[in-house]
Each structure stands twice: as structure tokens, then as C-alpha cells.
């Protein structure tokens, strides 16, 4: 893979800054506060494990950090990334917790689509897709449709799609949740390598203590609150 020069777009500033962020769902009588008074920064070379019980707010916080959701209160900004016309941050790769591949496109086409939207050449995008598929050990599944994959294979295809763009921020939500231990270790190694090669920050939400232990920084969530000190 080639390393893109982000020296102008990303000096030493944080990739993400959250200040006093709440995210509430529902209305009046039935409000759920999924994220509560969260203030945190993701530095450019961060390697962060986001842990916490089911329902503690990990996915909600990742979606806010990705710019896919809007806080009910407080601000999320991306000083090192800049934003597009819709106010969404540039250069973010997201691995969602649930299925996210487009059903009518094969694995390669799923990986190519965001790169072609971003203006990469077909040749470059195809080369990146091949490398990313090989990194997560599913090069042989390049022509399969999502319906023809196991859930763990689909998860790895989604990881390949996120890292092929060489984003400046990689957010992975339970990327090993449907994988056996050996494959999970390979996938975490691939995410770490992709982050190193792209010079990206990496945040992984996980229930797996062994995955969290691979990362130097631990953030834990409880009832929507974040404890970034552990
Ligand atoms: N769209 C929604 N509408 C209403 N409540 C929601 C919605 N999405 C999430 N929640 C609630 O917000 C809280 C946090 O959910 P979230 O998905 O962020 O947790 P999580 O830590 O990612 O859990 P898990 O480990 O199970 O993936 C939960 O109480 C959940 O029920
Ligand atoms: Mg979740």
C-alpha cells in the first residue's frame, strides 16, 4: 500500500474532539440517554479500545465520532480531518456492528464503491481492494455476493471496505464479534497494520478483553458515561 501524505490536512491536532456530548433517543416520557456528558479527544496516532457492557453506549458514541449521528447536546469536531458539504468528516472508515454490505454488489464491488465515489481511479481502487481482501484472508471470496458469505466472512469484507480507503480515522464496532479466536486475532492485526500504514487513528469497540488488551489505551463506558482514564 502507498502512504498518502496528510501533512497539510492533519498536523498535530486531534482527529476528533467531543465536548460535553449527550445523545438522547425517544421523546418526553420515554427518553433513553445513550451517551451522557462525554468529553474526549482522539489524537492522530491513537489506538483505543472502547469497552463496556451491552447497552452502555459504545455504538452510539462511535456513530457520533464518525459524524453519522448528531449530538442532542454538546459538540463533535474533527480538527485534523475537515468536513464535507454535509458537515461530515473526511477520511473516516467505519466497520459497523451489524451487516452493512450492499446485497446486490459482490465483495469487490462493495469495497470499490466508496473509493470510486471518493474519486480514486479504477486501477488504484482495484489494487487497494485486492490488498485489503488479502489482509483479512478472504481474497478467494472477491466475487461472492454478501448472501453467499458466512457472517464472519461478511464482517471481514466490511473491514476490508473500511481500510481500503486508507482513512485517517478507523472506527470498528465489535469487529471480532462473529469470529473465532484465531481469525479474530488476524483481523485485529490487520486493523492495526492498516492504521499504521495509513497513519490513522484507530478506535475499536469490543466486549473481548483479549482484543482490548492488544490496544494501549482503554476507554470504558458505563450508562452512557465515558471513563477515558483507565
Ligand atoms: N435508535 C435507538 N432508539 C432508542 N434507543 C436506542 C437506539 N439506539 C440505541 N439505543 C439505546 O441506547 C443505549 C446504548 O446503545 P448502544 O447501541 O450504543 O450500546 P452498546 O454499548 O453499543 O451495546 P452493545 O455492546 O450491545 O453493542 C441502549 O440503552 C440502547 O437500547
Ligand atoms: Mg454496540
**Domain at 16-227: CATH architecture:** 3-Layer(aba) Sandwich (3.40)
More confident residue, 1 or 39: 39
Q: State whether residue 40 is helix, strand or coil.
A: strand
pLDDT tens digit sequence for 117-167? 989 999 999 999 999 999 999 999 999 999 999 999 999 999 999 999 999
Global pTM reads 0.92
Per-residue pLDDT band for 178 (boundaries 50, 70, 90) equals: confident
CA distance 164 to 162: 6
> Taking Cα atoms as reference points, which of 21, 173, 9 lies closest to residue 78?
9
Ligand 1 contacts CB of residue 33 (under 6 A): no
Residue nearest to atom 27 of ligand 1 (CA): 54
User: Cα dihedral sign for 211, 217, 222, 225?
Assistant: negative
Q: Residue with the nearest Cα to atom 2 of ligand 1?
A: 25
Residues of the chain above pLDDT 90, percent? 85
Q: CA angle, 122 as apex, 116 and 67 as ends, to 5°?
A: 20
* Residue 38 clears pLDDT 90, i.e. is over it: yes
Q: 32 in ligand 1 pocket by Cβ < 6 Å?
A: yes
Categorize the per-residue pLDDT at 4 as very low, low, confident or very high, splitting at 50, 70 and 90.
very low
First to last CA, the chain: 34
User: What are the cell numbers at 205?
Assistant: 469497540
**Per-domain residue ranges of the chain:** 16-227
| Nearest alpha carbon, ligand 1 atom 31 | 55
- Cβ density class 120-153: b for 16+ within 10 Å, e for less: beeeebbebbbbbbebbebeebbebbbeebeebb
Q: Do 199 and 192 meet the contact criterion of CB atoms below 8 Å apart?
A: no
Over range 71-75, report the average pLDDT: 98
Amino acid at each position: 500500500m502507498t502512504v498518502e501524505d496528510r501533512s497539510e490536512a492533519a498536523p498535530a491536532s486531534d482527529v476528533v474532539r467531543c465536548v460535553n456530548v449527550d445523545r438522547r433517543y425517544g421523546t418526553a416520557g420515554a427518553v433513553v440517554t445513550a451517551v451522557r456528558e462525554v468529553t474526549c479527544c482522539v489524537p492522530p496516532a491513537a489506538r483505543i479500545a472502547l469497552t463496556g457492557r451491552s447497552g452502555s453506549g459504545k455504538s452510539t458514541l462511535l456513530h457520533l465520532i464518525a459524524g453519522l449521528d448528531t449530538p442532542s447536546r454538546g459538540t463533535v469536531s474533527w480538527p485534523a480531518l475537515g468536513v464535507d458539504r454535509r458537515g461530515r468528516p473526511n477520511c473516516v472508515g467505519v466497520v459497523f456492528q451489524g451487516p452493512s454490505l450492499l446485497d446486490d454488489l459482490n465483495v469487490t464491488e462493495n469495497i470499490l464503491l466508496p473509493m470510486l465515489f471518493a474519486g480514486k481511479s479504477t486501477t488504484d481502487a482495484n489494487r487497494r481492494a485486492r490488498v485489503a481482501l488479502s489482509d483479512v484472508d478472504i481474497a478467494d471470496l472477491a466475487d461472492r455476493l454478501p448472501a453467499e458469505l458466512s457472517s464472519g466472512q461478511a464482517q471481514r469484507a466490511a473491514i476490508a471496505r473500511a481500510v481500503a480507503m486508507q482513512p485517517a480515522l478507523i472506527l470498528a464496532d465489535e469487529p471480532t464479534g462473529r469470529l473465532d479466536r484465531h481469525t479474530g486475532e488476524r483481523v485485529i492485526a490487520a486493523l492495526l497494520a492498516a492504521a499504521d500504514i495509513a497513519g490513522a487513528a484507530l478506535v475499536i469497540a469490543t466486549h473481548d478483553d483479549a482484543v482490548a488488551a492488544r490496544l494501549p489505551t482503554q476507554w470504558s463506558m458505563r450508562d452512557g458515561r465515558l471513563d477515558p482514564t483507565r
